[in-house]
Amino acid sequence: MVQFLIRLDDLCPTNNLPKWERFFELFDRYSIKPIIAVIPDNRDPKLKACGDNNPGYWTIVRKLQEKNYIIGMHGFQHLYQTGNSGLLKRNPRSEFAGLPLNIQEEKIKAASAIFKKQNVHTPVFVAPAHSFDRNTLLALSRCTEIKIISDGFLPSPYIKWGFKWIPAQLPEVTLKTRGTWTFNYHPETCTKEAFCRLEKFIEKHHGNFVSLPDLTYSIYSGLDYFKDYINIYKRLLHKQAKRHLATLKHLIGK
């Protein structure tokens, strides 16, 4: 059996809303309940440049929650403060990984307070750039009721270090025949072509899309640790090979 989930990243007050609304309309057409990664206090200059500040932003977030969309805590301010790639080593930048526990707790507390003030429930943590460390998890445990992490590489959800993990493996729709797969989109940068592929995929496979309440979790095993290790370092080697190839092409072109 195969299951699919959708996650949209970077919802904030300066979004270009039409880019997001096309996703919402598509999901509502097929009763799909995605994870929406919401930035509580966006300070990212790139995202601030996407559009004008929307005074009705939190009303939009609450309406999504009323439709049973899953609202995720997408960090605090979406500002990268370290070059640490964290536990998953996906990107060499982080809002959290590498910072002392007390600093991470301050960020998590501040983010949680904003969501509470706005009457928005966030059962899931979504780290900007997929980068976080054990201190991030400890801060979440101490300062919030969040028990679900949207990240990882394995082909099914699992329980590890006291958290339920829902792996977020793919940047866009890809046909699979077994397992549970999260397609992780960024509406601000999603092309018309990529959205068209998503639309056609959902039209054909909407019966395989699930939401958080539908998931079951296995206990993280020694074999899972080995699979994670392989996935992480295979990705790192692939990135290094691409960089070396780009350097070689540049030298040849001179």
Rounded to an integer, the average pLDDT of 173-193 is 97
pTM of the model as a whole: 0.92
Cα angle 193-65-56, degrees, rounded to a multiple of 5: 80
Strand, coil or helix: 140: helix
Half-sphere exposure of 18 (CA within 13 A, CB side): 3
- Is the separation of the CB atoms in 222 and 44 below 8 Å? no
E-assigned strands of 23-170? 35-38, 70-73, 124-125, 148-150, 158-160, 163-166
Mean pLDDT over all residues of the chain?
94
Q: What is the pLDDT of residues 125-135, one digit of tens each?
A: 999 999 999 99
Q: What is the pLDDT of residues 220-230, one digit of tens each?
A: 999 999 999 88
Q: What is the pLDDT of residue 246?
A: 58
pLDDT band for position 233 (cuts 50, 70, 90): confident
Q: What is the pLDDT of residue 69?
A: 98
- Tokens describing residue 177: 């025949």
Q: What is the pLDDT of residues 1-51, one digit of tens each?
A: 999 999 999 999 999 999 999 999 999 999 999 999 999 999 999 999 999
Rounded to an integer, the average pLDDT of 229-235 is 85
Q: What is the pLDDT of residue 20?
A: 97
Which residues on neighbouring strands pair with residue 159, listed in sequence order? 164, 219
Phi, psi of 177, rounded to the nearest 5 degrees: -110, -15
193-227 burial: b if 16+ Cβ within 10 Å, else e: eebeebbebbeeeeeebebbeeeebeebeeebeee
Q: Which of 57-71, 215-229, 236-250 has the highest mean pLDDT?
A: 57-71
Per CATH, the number for 2-220 is 3.20.20.370
pLDDT band for position 251 (cuts 50, 70, 90): low
Element (H, E) at 198: helix 192-205
Strand, coil or helix: 10: strand
Burial class (CB in 10 A: 0-12, 13-18, 19+), 10: buried
Q: Within a 10 A sphere around the Cβ of 136, how many other Cβ atoms?
A: 26
Which residues on neighbouring strands pair with residue 2, listed in sequence order? 179
